[in-house]
């Protein structure tokens, strides 16, 4: 793993975007570690992702240009420039995701404010703004647009270029602990109206919020905004949350001219609107189909009544034009397939609609083909009738021609029979046209009913799936809560066992310390007894020295007496004096030897005292070294215990099978029960070895 100070860590699931499949693929089976690291100098930061073997999977620098975008279901998307690939992280819950984004946002703010571009007056005198999204907020809430009034809660930190050294530390997370320049408390809300970019406020910070930082926010959304003012060399860091929104209904046209940021809620609303419009169009098509059948029937009835009113005579061109006008003037029968051909509903079969349209065109073609010879025959009849009428008028003028009248009557009867046959054919064709239109409309109705049935069935399935999803989520939440409780209980049991083991270890260490202290006390008592003995000997030697001094004084007195006596007997005294002088010399030598021995005894006593002090120091050092050795041995032993337990857990849960909460708890209890006896055995062996060493 990479070196560096750890600022923040959590566990996530890592996904990478696959361009070939067009989706995100999970990189590891288990969760990976996510750590925010700082360099040794504290001026650069990086994000490290590593697997369970502590092998780095991905490391990218945290700079002001890095973008971490929160998404639904606790996902966070980001782009890695060196690999030119999109990644996504899935967090345990929304709180963990928000904490991670907050940590990264504070880090980016600190790096940005220490860069030279943040206060470069040569580039622009306008404020430089960096916005980081911390949470999504409500999905169904409308985003803020120009003209809306936003009610926000905020925490603001403010300073100058010169105050950066005193404000920032090597840990960007400590920004939140610094003294705030402004903060809303309780139910206090600061209201800001969003305005156009040209309308400037008296406060530059409020202007930045109103024109840029608040745009697109939804209710309950959190953002971290970092602003620098190059002209005044000031900076601001603001953590804000949108809690209230007052929409501006008068600026709807302006909102359409300047669209808000596109989000998933707008897409869902648009899809729902299209679905409702589609249902309305289908209902109108159904009504149009039912109305068109009645219209065709009414046309036929009008034609029949017109024939009866004319006494069985019917104008064939008029009937043809009426039938054709009925076919062309009624757009509803032919308009339905055009609408249905463009529908894209779940379970739709476009081929059936296209075949239906083809059949409709064939029926209309057949009708036109049948009407065409009828119109030609009626036109021929009209051409025949006109000269016959002219001849009949001529024959009427010639009153004397009876044969011509008979022939004319026979011709009129033939023409009437032909006209009746043509009327029958016309009615037959009208019936065929009506039946074709009726069949066509019935097909359209059946197709519409099938589509509506499929749509309702799909909606019912969606409702069932939603209910199942809700039930599964409820069960998962209950299981998660149960597992959390069992985890807390297990942690408490483990903590109690560890405390008990620590108490046992402390008791045994205390007993061992008592034994060594008693041994040292015994040695100290022996040394003190020896010192007392040497002191007694020294006192005895001092007594002997006093006795020798007394004897010396007695000898001197005797010498004086002898000197007095020498006056009486010089000769006898000389030899005696020599003897006494030799004795005195011997006594002086003995006194010198005794003094030297007394001094040696005194030096030995001082040396013994120094030895006693050094022994005490050695005892303290030995006790400290012993405690350090025992602590190191115990720590290594506990590390070995925890590694054994961890590998037992890893062996138990690395399989692909799924476990219930009860099975997990039983497995954990079994592993702890097995390892507890091993731990106690190793502890007994450890203390036995410690006892053998001493």
With respect to residue 40, please indicate whether it lies within any of the assigned structural domains: yes
Query: Quick one: pLDDT band at residue 489, thresholds 50, 70, 90?
Result: confident
Determine how β-strand 190-193 pairs with β-strand 182-183.
unpaired
User: d(Cα 308, Cα 314) in Å, to the nearest integer?
Assistant: 9
The domain boundary, picked from 246, 264, 290, lies at: 246
With respect to residue 90, please indicate whether it lies within any of the assigned structural domains: yes
Query: Quick one: pLDDT band at residue 680, thresholds 50, 70, 90?
Result: confident
Give counts: helices (H), strands (E), the chain: 11, 14
The domain boundary, picked from 246, 272, 306, lies at: 246
pLDDT tens digits for range 52-104: 998 999 999 999 999 999 999 999 999 988 888 999 999 999 999 999 999 99
With respect to residue 136, please indicate whether it lies within any of the assigned structural domains: yes
CB-based contacts of 485, cutoff 8 Å, min separation 6: none
Question: Is there a contact between 320 and 378 (Cβ–Cβ < 8 Å)?
Answer: yes
Question: Is there a contact between 432 and 401 (Cβ–Cβ < 8 Å)?
Answer: no
Per-residue pLDDT at 396? 53
Query: Quick one: pLDDT band at residue 605, thresholds 50, 70, 90?
Result: confident
With respect to residue 518, please indicate whether it lies within any of the assigned structural domains: no
pLDDT tens digits for range 8-26: 999 999 999 998 888 999 9
Query: Quick one: pLDDT band at residue 456, thresholds 50, 70, 90?
Result: confident
User: d(Cα 522, Cα 58) in Å, to the nearest integer?
Assistant: 64
- The CATH number for 138's domain is 2.30.29.30
Per-residue pLDDT at 301? 43
For the cut 50, the answer to whether the pLDDT of residue 343 exceeds it is no
Domain boundaries, position 65: 5-246
With respect to residue 646, please indicate whether it lies within any of the assigned structural domains: yes
The domain boundary, picked from 246, 267, 283, lies at: 246
Q: Angle, to 10 degrees, between the axis of helix 331-341 and the axis of helix 402-568?
A: 30
Beta-sheet strands, E only, within 62-165: 68-71, 75-80, 85-90, 128-135, 149-160
User: d(Cα 502, Cα 508) in Å, to the nearest integer?
Assistant: 10
| Nearest by Cα to 377 from 322, 425, 313, 434 | 425
CB atoms closer than 10 angstroms to residue 401: 14
CB-based contacts of 261, cutoff 8 Å, min separation 6: 143, 215, 216
Q: Angle, to 10 degrees, between the axis of helix 570-653 and the axis of helix 402-568?
A: 170
With respect to residue 432, please indicate whether it lies within any of the assigned structural domains: no
- According to DSSP, residue 260 is labeled P
Per-residue pLDDT at 386? 60
Per-residue pLDDT at 196? 78
Q: Angle, to 10 degrees, between the axis of helix 331-341 and the axis of helix 264-309?
A: 160
For the cut 50, the answer to whether the pLDDT of residue 406 exceeds it is yes
Beta-sheet strands, E only, within 408-477: none
Higher-pLDDT residue of 171 and 281 is: 171
For the cut 50, the answer to whether the pLDDT of residue 320 exceeds it is no
Pairs from 99-103 (Cβ < 8 Å, separation ≥ 24): 99/8, 99/10, 100/8, 100/10, 100/34, 100/76, 101/68, 101/70, 101/76, 101/132, 101/133, 101/134, 101/135, 102/134, 102/224, 102/239, 103/7, 103/8, 103/36, 103/172, 103/173
With respect to residue 50, please indicate whether it lies within any of the assigned structural domains: yes
Domain count of the fold of the chain: 2
Per-residue pLDDT at 447? 83
For the cut 80, the answer to whether the pLDDT of residue 349 exceeds it is no
Higher-pLDDT residue of 656 and 340 is: 656
With respect to residue 94, please indicate whether it lies within any of the assigned structural domains: yes
């Amino acid at each position: 793993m990479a070196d560096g100070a750890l600022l923040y860590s959590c566990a996530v699931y890592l996904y990478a975007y696959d361009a070939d499949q067009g989706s995100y693929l999970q990189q590891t089976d288990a969760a990976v570690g996510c750590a925010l690291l700082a360099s040794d100098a504290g001026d650069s930061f990086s994000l490290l992702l590593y697997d369970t073997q502590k092998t780095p999977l991905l490391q990218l620098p945290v700079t002001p240009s890095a973008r971490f975008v929160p998404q639904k279901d606790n996902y966070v998307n980001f782009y890695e420039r060196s690999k030119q690939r999109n990644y996504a992280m899935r967090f345990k819950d929304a709180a963990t995701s928000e904490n991670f984004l907050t940590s990264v946002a504070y880090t980016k703010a600190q790096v940005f404010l220490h860069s030279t571009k943040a206060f470069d007056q040569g580039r622009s005198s306008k404020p430089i703004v960096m916005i980081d999204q911390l949470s999504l907020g409500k999905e169904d809430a409308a985003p803020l647009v120009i003209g809306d009034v936003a009610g926000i809660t905020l925490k603001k930190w403010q300073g100058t270029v010169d105050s950066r050294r005193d404000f920032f530390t090597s840990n960007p997370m400590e920004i939140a602990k610094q003294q705030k320049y402004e903060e809303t408390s309780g139910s206090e809300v600061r209201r800001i109206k969003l305005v156009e970019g040209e309308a400037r406020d008296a406060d530059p910070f409020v202007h930045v919020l109103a024109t840029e930082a608040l745009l697109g926010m939804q209710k309950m959304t959190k953002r971290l905004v970092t602003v620098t003012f190059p002209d005044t060399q000031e900076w601001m860091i603001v953590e804000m949350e949108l809690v209230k929104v007052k929409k501006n209904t008068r600026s709807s046209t302006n909102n359409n001219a300047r669209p808000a940021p596109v989000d998933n809620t707008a897409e869902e609303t648009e899809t729902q609107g299209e679905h409702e419009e589609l249902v309305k169009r289908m209902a109108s098509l159904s009504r149009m189909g039912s109305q068109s059948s009645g219209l065709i029937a009414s046309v036929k009835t009008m034609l029949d009544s017109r024939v009866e009113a004319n006494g069985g005579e019917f104008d064939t061109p008029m009937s043809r034009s009426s039938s054709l006008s009925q076919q062309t003037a009624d757009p509803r029968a032919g308009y339905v397939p055009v609408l249905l051909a463009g529908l894209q509903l779940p379970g739709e079969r476009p081929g059936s609609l296209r075949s239906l349209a083809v059949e409709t065109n064939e029926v209309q073609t057949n009708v036109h083909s049948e009407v065409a010879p009828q119109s030609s025959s009626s036109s021929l009849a009209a051409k025949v009738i006109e000269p016959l009428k002219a001849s009949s008028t001529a024959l009427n003028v010639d009153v004397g021609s009876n044969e011509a009248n008979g022939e004319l009557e026979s011709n009129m009867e033939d023409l009437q029979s032909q006209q009746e046959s043509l009327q029958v054919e016309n009615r037959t064709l009208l019936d065929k046209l009506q039946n074709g239109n009726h069949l066509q409309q019935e097909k359209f109705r059946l197709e519409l009913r099938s589509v509506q049935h499929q749509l309702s069935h799909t909606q019912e399935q969606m409702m069932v799936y939603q209910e199942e999803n809700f039930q599964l989520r409820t069960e998962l939440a209950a299981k998660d809560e149960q597992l959390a409780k069992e985890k807390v209980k297990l942690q408490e049991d483990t903590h109690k066992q560890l405390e008990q083991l620590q108490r046992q270890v402390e008791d045994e260490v205390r007993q061992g310390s008592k034994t060594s202290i008693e041994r040292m006390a015994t040695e100290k008592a022996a040394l003190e007894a020896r010192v007392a003995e040497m002191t007694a000997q020294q006192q005895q030697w001092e007594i002997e020295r006093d006795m020798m001094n007394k004897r010396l004084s007695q000898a001197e007195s005797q010498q004086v007496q002898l000197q007095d006596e020498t006056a009486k007997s010089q000769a006898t005294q000389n030899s005696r004096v020599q003897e006494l002088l030799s004795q005195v010399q011997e006594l002086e030598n003995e006194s010198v030897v005794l003094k030297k021995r007394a001094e040696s005894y005194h030096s030995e006593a001082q040396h013994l005292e120094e030895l006693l002090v050094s022994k005490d120091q050695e005892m303290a050092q030995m006790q400290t070294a012993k405690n350090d050795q025992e602590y190191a041995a115990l720590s290594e032993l506990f590390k070995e215990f925890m590694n054994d337990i961890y590998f037992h857990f890893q062996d138990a849960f690395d399989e692909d099978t799924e476990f219930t909460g009860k099975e997990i708890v039983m497995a954990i209890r079994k592993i702890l029960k097995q390892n507890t006896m091993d731990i106690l055995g190793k502890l007994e062996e450890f203390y036995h070895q410690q006892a053998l060493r001493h």
